[in-house]
Structure 1
């Protein structure tokens, strides 16, 4: 895959990989059925991955609204319509629109988890063994054999100091060899980047954390808002789970 093609999946140009602020766009239907979903030539619907669930939203066409309740990844990206809604015919011009509140909450949450992973790696040397998220809440699992004294308070203070520092969160892409020449871009205990991926998308919290990642993120740490460490759980030997929550309102 050439670097210029990293933002395509099958026949769909993935707008969210290069501009995470896109919420509405025009597109053309390339394929459509109730069973297999709707394929567009251009889409900003994040299809899910890395613990981040897929986007939801609508397609508007000919005075009709089709709700999109999920995305399926195959040879193409197939948008999954609500079972009660009509399907736009192939060739139809549509207006796509994401559910903004949900997308923005997921962006804040995903960035919060990257920030937390960066803090725990920097301060305790621990790698991530699992993750999951929903809007405004998520969890990271770490390979910590023992829980350091005052761990919860220490990571709460450190994480929110990084929020206040308003570090820029930037996206860039590099050929695989160049990306893996950078130190510590894999913060998971297992490298989850498939061997056939030739171009690696990096999410860089400037001065704190660089990770290979395909998800959506806010533009700076201040936009995450206050991070609450809701719970730290012992899930077995060498396995600690940290749960985080964010406030509903987005920080300014």
Structure 2
């Protein structure tokens, strides 16, 4: 995979990776699949992945509005229209608008989870075994056989202390060999990166964390707000689930 492919999926140039703050854009429909959806030449819709769900929003064209409720991945990224909504024909110029409240909530949550996983790894040596998120709420699973009595409070206090430092958050593209020279680049218990991936996108929380990641993030930790660890659950065999809320 060439470096350019990191910000391109099939025919679509991914504005969401070039600038996660883009919420409004213009594009041209390059294909329509009746079963899968609409392909654009450029798009700011995050298609989902790495635990972060896809964006929602609208396409506006010729005085018509088409609601976008998800994305189907294949050789192209197919934006899924709401059932019954009109679909623009190939060649149509459209304006796309992302649901800002949803995307911003997901960005704050995703960045908060990176802080959380960094703290749990640093202070307790535990790697991630799974997780998912919705706007301002999430769960993260860790391989942690022993849990101190004050684990929940210690994790929350440490995460919020890091957030308050207003650490810059930035993404960069690195050749695979250079990326894997970074210690603990992959925080999951299993390395899920494809072996043929030649360029790795690394999200860097300055002075705290570097992780391979394809999602969208806020520009600094202060923009996360606060992280609350709502509950710690024992899922058996040393796996612990943290229920998290972003405030």
Q: TM-score of the superposition, structure 1-length normalised?
A: 0.96
Please give the alpha-carbon distance, in whole angstroms, between the structure 2 residues aligned to 1:25 and 1:212.
27
Q: CA deviation at 1:149?
A: 3.0
1:42-86 deviation per Cα after TM superposition (whole angstroms, max 9, x unaligned): 001111111111000000000000000000000000000011110
What is residue 7 of structure 2 aligned with on the other side? Answer: 7
Residues 142 and 241 of structure 1 are in contact (CA less than 8 Å); yes or no, is this contact kept in structure 2? yes
Q: Which runs of 5+ in 2 are unaligned?
A: none
Offset from partner CA, 1:124-177 (integer Å, 9 cap, x none): 111001011011100111110010231011011101101101011110010111
Q: CA deviation at 1:2?
A: 2.0
Please name the residue that 1:250 is paired with. none
1:86 aligned onto 2:86: yes
Q: 1:178: which partner in 2?
A: 178
**CA distance in structure 1 between the aligned counterparts of 2:6 and 2:155, rounded to whole angstroms:** 35
Q: How far did residue 35 of structure 1 move?
A: 2.0
Answer whether contact 1:143 1:240 (CA < 8 A) is retained.
yes
Q: Distance in 2 between matches of 1:138 and 1:13?
A: 29
- The DSSP-based 3-state class of the residue aligned with 1:6 is helix
Instruction: For residue 91 of structure 2, give the secondary structure of its aligned residue in structure 1.
Output: coil
Query: Hey, what does 2:138 align to over in structure 1?
Result: 138
Secondary structure of the structure 2 residue equivalent to 1:174: strand
Q: Does the residue aligned with 2:112 lie in a helix, a strand or coil?
A: helix
Kept after mapping to 2: 8 A contact 1:70/1:81: yes
CA distance in structure 1 between the aligned counterparts of 2:10 and 2:4, rounded to whole angstroms: 14
Q: How does 1:127-166 map to 2 (within 5 A)?
A: 127-166=127-166
Residue 52 of structure 2 corresponds to which residue in structure 1? 52
SS at match of 1:108: helix
Aligned-residue offset at 1:36: 2.2
Alignment check: 8 A CA contact 1:33 1:87 kept? no
1:70-108 residue CA offsets vs partner (Å, 9 max, x unmatched): 000000000000111100010000001100000000000
Consecutive unaligned residues of structure 1, counting only runs of 5 or more, are 248-252
Aligned ranges for residues 170-249 of structure 1 at < 5 Å?
Answer: 170-247=170-247
- SS of the counterpart of 2:84? coil
Secondary structure of 2:183's aligned partner: coil
CA displacement at 1:220 relative to structure 2: 0.6
RMSD value, Cα: 0.8
Offset from partner CA, 1:207-235 (integer Å, 9 cap, x none): 11111000111011100001110100110
In the alignment, what sits opposite 1:76?
A: 76
1:181 counterpart SS class: coil
How far off is 1:194 after superposition? 1.0
Q: Which residue number corresponds to residue 106 of structure 1?
A: 106
CA distance in 2, matches of 1:85, 1:215: 28
Alpha carbons 1:137, 1:245 under 8 Å: kept: yes
TM-superposed deviation, 1:6: 1.6
Q: State the number of aligned residues.
A: 247
